[in-house]
A and B are shown apart, each in its own frame.
Chain A
Amino acid sequence: MTLPAAVAMTVFVALPALLSLIGSFFEIPLTGGAWRFVGFGNFTDVLSDPAVLQAIRNTAVYSAITIVPSLVIGLSLALLANAAGRGRPFVRTVLFLPMTANLVAMAVVFSWMFSYPGGFVNQVIGLVGAEPVNWLGDPATALPVVALVGIWRTASLTMVIFFAGLAAMPAALDEAARAEGIRGLRKLFLVTLPTIRPTVVFATVLAILSSAQVFDTINVMTQGGPRGSTETVLTMTWRIGFGYFDLGAASALAFLLLVVLVGIGILQRRTLSGWGR
């Protein structure tokens, strides 16, 4: 009974992943001719390309400004939705909505809201007398704006996970904390977070994965511009592979990202396993 899944998993996940690793050491002609072994050539090529280095830097910045806010906001929203009285089902539904949104559709809407000079955001800051800002056209602001959309979306995703985790928390724990007079932030750090530690780990992993692999919003809102300021590792992989048709180099870049992600995963396991005991 596992045969269909095993075959599909091998053909569509394991084999491609392996081929990708092998392919990153070759020059791959798109027309289907023979592969040419180039050793670490693809890796040195991508790592010496200033555009790729900028994309790596951008991905790091994007991740730094989205992951932690997404987790903090997601947890706060879950606690808020839990504390809401009669409005609880309504609040919960509304706060879940950004998670379901189609990112292409939302990227279109957000690019209008941040458009220059007459978009929503510029009109609002105009109320207090500020000059309109070319949010998506200025290399200094484009990445933070795209990251803001990322936070809007990812906070909703982590909120769903925190919400489910909080719902599974034993009620007796709550009562015990109240009996001991532990409340507020102390309760959050001493009781709630240690109890839902697996949930915290899961939410963190998802937040890291979704930031490191951001693509849809950038492809629609900025296409990596202006002047490469929003180019990320995945948009760069896509550009190298399917824009310049250098599939070997694209595989190498994709694999470098995987190595970093696995590294973060191991580090995180180490840190979190010693935490909250």
Chain B
Amino acid sequence: MRAAARAGLLAATCVAVVVSLFPFYWMVRTSIAPADETFFQGIAWFPSAVDLSGYARAWTDGGLGRAMVVGLLQTLSILALQLLTCVPAAYVLAKVRSRATGIALTAVLGCLLVPSQVTLIPLFIGVNVVGWSDSLVGLVLPFTTSAFGIYLIRQQMMTIPDALLEAARADGLGHFRRLTSVVIPMAAPGIAAFSVFSVFAHWNEYLWPLLISRSPDMRTPPLALAVFQQADVGYDYPALAAGAVIITAPIVVLFLLAQKPFVQGMSGTEITG
């Protein structure tokens, strides 16, 4: 590659890195800067002093502390339910060949295409009729299973050689034992990728909690932050930014830890799809 082209690539990469990171930097900077430096006084790229008190105010006044607990319970419950329903279904769709599984696979792909706003209103009415609004059950239950999860995990399970399963069957293992001792360990990357995806999606979910959570005790992290922002509490920008950092940090940490399986799992999705 010529030197000019190389320099151009480097410059483009630097611009992309800065644009990607700048909002994160701005969020952290605002959270630790004195309140009157939220908006520029001239060009104040760096805070003149470090003040961490905004984090305490976000945690208590903003209700973020309580919301983090609700968010954790909601996200992990959804993940547990989705793994319990998706993994066995994916196994059957990947490794049992019959007309019924062919139809079921088509049904799963069909459900994959239904956008969330179409199911939103009936689900809202249903949850209200049953009396689950403003409860953890109401936040979790509509996401019991995931068409995307079944599809993604099935794609991974397709790569397991049939001979291996035949051998396990010859050893006298039933469907359940074959699933737990052969299929799940071998499909682990796909299951891990889906788990990360599910946690991302439901930790960040805003629309459904906005409908379901009425009392302050049931707010999820994004909802608590949005309420905090709209509450107009004397424009406490550092506390609001601290709240943004608090709800962003767990996901970023999870992403840094799970980046590799996530990308590997993703690369299985579209090749055969």
A residues at B contact (CB < 8 Å): 1-2, 4-6, 8-9, 12-17, 19-20, 23, 28, 32, 76-77, 80-81, 83-84, 87, 91, 93-98, 100-106, 108-110, 112-113, 115, 118-120, 123, 127, 152, 156, 160-161, 163-165, 167-168, 198-199, 201-202, 209, 212-213, 215-216, 219-220, 234, 237-238, 241-242, 247, 250-251, 254-255, 257-258, 261-262, 265
Chain B contributes a number of interface residues (CB within 8 A of A) equal to 90
For the complex, would chain A's binding face be called helix, strand, loop or mixed by DSSP majority? Answer: helix
Q: How many angstroms between the C-alpha atoms of A241 and B207 in the bound complex? A: 13
Q: A19: which B residues are within 8 A, CB to CB?
A: 122
Q: A98-B20, A103-B222, A165-B267 are in contact. List 14 more A-B contacts (CB 8 A).
A: A16-B122, A17-B122, A76-B12, A80-B13, A84-B9, A84-B13, A101-B248, A102-B248, A105-B27, A106-B244, A202-B270, A202-B273, A237-B120, A242-B124
- Tell me whether A106 and B23 are in contact in the complex, defined as CB-CB below 8 angstroms, given that A4-B145, A5-B86, A9-B107 are known contacts: yes
- Tell me whether A168 and B20 are in contact in the complex, defined as CB-CB below 8 angstroms, given that A100-B255, A219-B226 are known contacts: no
Residues A94 and B20 in contact, CB atoms below 8 Å apart: yes
A-B contact count (CB 8 A): 243
- Tell me whether A12 and B142 are in contact in the complex, defined as CB-CB below 8 angstroms, given that A100-B255, A118-B39, A213-B116 are known contacts: yes
B residues at A contact (CB < 8 Å): 9, 12-13, 16-17, 19-21, 23-24, 26-27, 30, 38-40, 42-43, 84-86, 88-89, 91-93, 101, 104, 107-108, 111, 113-126, 129, 141-145, 147, 150, 175-176, 179, 200, 203-204, 206-207, 210-211, 221-223, 225-226, 229, 237, 240-241, 243-245, 247-248, 251-252, 255-256, 259, 263-264, 266-267, 269-271, 273
Q: How many angstroms between the C-alpha atoms of A109 and B42 in the bound complex? A: 19
Cβ distance A139 to chain B, nearest Cβ, rounded Å? 21
Residues B204 and A109 in contact, CB atoms below 8 Å apart: no
Residues A105 and B222 in contact, CB atoms below 8 Å apart: yes
For the complex, would chain B's binding face be called helix, strand, loop or mixed by DSSP majority? Answer: helix
